[in-house]
Chain A
Amino acid sequence: MKVLILDPLKCTGCQACEYACSFQHTGVFNPLDSRIEVSAFFEDLSFVPTLCLQCEKAYCVEVCPTSALTKNDQTGVVDFDKDKCIGCKQCIIACPWGSIKLNCVGKEIIKCDNCEGDPACVKVCSAKALTFEEVEDVVLAKQKGTAARLKEIGKDLAKGVSS
Chain B
Amino acid sequence: MIKGGFQGKILRVNLTSGKIMAEDLNEDWAKKFVGGRGYGTKIMYEEVDPKVDPLSEKNKVIIATGPLGGTLAPSSGRTMVVTKGPLTGTIACSNAGGYFGPALKHAGFDMVVIEGKAKEPVYLWIYKGEAELRCAKDIWGKTSDEADKILRDKTHPKAETMEIGPAGEKQSLVANVMFNGHRAAGRTGVGAVLGSKNFKGIAVRGNLGVKVAEPEKFMEAVYKTREILSKDAFSGGGAAMLGTAMLVNVINGVGAFPTKNAQDAYFPEAEKISGETLRERNLIRNEGCAVCPIGCGRVTEIKEGKYKGAHGGGPEYESVWALGAMCGVSDLDAVVMANYLCDKYGMDTISAGSTVACGMELYEEGYIPKEDSPLPLTFGSGEALVEAIKLMGEQKGKLGKLLAQGSYRLGEHYGHPELSMSVKKQEFPAYDPRGVKGIGLEYATSNRGACHVRGYTIAPEVLTGAADRLKYEGKGELVKTFQDLTSALDSTSICLFTTFGLGGEDIALLLSTATGFKVDINEFMKIGERIWNLERLFNIKAGFSRKDDNLPMRILKEPIKTGPSKGEIEELDKMLDDYYKVRGWDKNGIPTNEKLKALGLLD
A contact set with B: CB distance below 8 Å: 9-10, 12-16, 19-20, 22-23, 26-33, 40, 42-47, 104-105, 123-124, 126-127
Contact stretch, chosen from B280-288, B361-369, B515-523, B568-576: B280-288
Q: Are B288 and A127 neighbours in the complex by a CB distance under 8 Å? A: yes
Q: Are B182 and A32 neighbours in the complex by a CB distance under 8 Å? A: no
Contacts between chains A and B (CB distance < 8 A), count: 98
Report if B209 contacts A (CB, 8 A).
yes
A99 to chain B, nearest CB (A): 16
A1 to chain B, nearest CB (A): 27
In the complex, chain B residues 150-184 whose Cβ is within 8 Å of any chain A Cβ? 152, 180-182
User: Which one of B148, B209, B290, B294 contacts A15 once the chains associate, using CB atoms below 8 Å?
Assistant: B290
With contacts A30-B209, A42-B149, A126-B226 known, is A15 near B291, CB below 8 A? yes
Q: Are A20 and B297 neighbours in the complex by a CB distance under 8 Å? A: no
Q: Are B148 and A42 neighbours in the complex by a CB distance under 8 Å? A: yes
B578 to chain A, nearest CB (A): 41
Nearest CB to that of A8 among chain B residues? B285
A44 CA to B299 CA, complexed, in Å:
8
B-chain residues with CB within 8 Å of residue A22 when the two chains form the complex: 209
Q: Are B209 and A29 neighbours in the complex by a CB distance under 8 Å? A: yes
Q: Among B71, B209, B312, which residue has the most Cβ atoms of chain A within 10 A?
A: B209
What count of chain B residues pass the 8 Å CB interface test? Answer: 42
In the complex, chain B residues 324-343 whose Cβ is within 8 Å of any chain A Cβ? none
B-chain residues with CB within 8 Å of residue A28 when the two chains form the complex: 209-211
A19 CA to B77 CA, complexed, in Å:
12
A127 CA to B152 CA, complexed, in Å:
27
B494 to chain A, nearest CB (A): 14
Nearest CB to that of B206 among chain A residues? A32
B-chain residues with CB within 8 Å of residue A44 when the two chains form the complex: 299, 311
The 5 A-B residue pairs with the shortest CB-CB distance in the complex, in nearest-first order: A28-B209, A30-B209, A12-B288, A14-B288, A126-B293
User: Which one of A19, A27, A42 contacts B215 once the chains associate, using CB atoms below 8 Å?
Assistant: A27
Q: Are B106 and A43 neighbours in the complex by a CB distance under 8 Å? A: no
A103 CA to B550 CA, complexed, in Å:
55
A15 CA to B75 CA, complexed, in Å:
11
With contacts A124-B226, A127-B286 known, is A16 near B293, CB below 8 A? yes
Can you give 8 A-B contacts (C-beta < 8 A)? A14-B290, A22-B209, A28-B211, A30-B106, A30-B209, A40-B99, A104-B209, A124-B72
Report if B289 contacts A (CB, 8 A).
yes
Q: Are A126 and B295 neighbours in the complex by a CB distance under 8 Å? A: yes
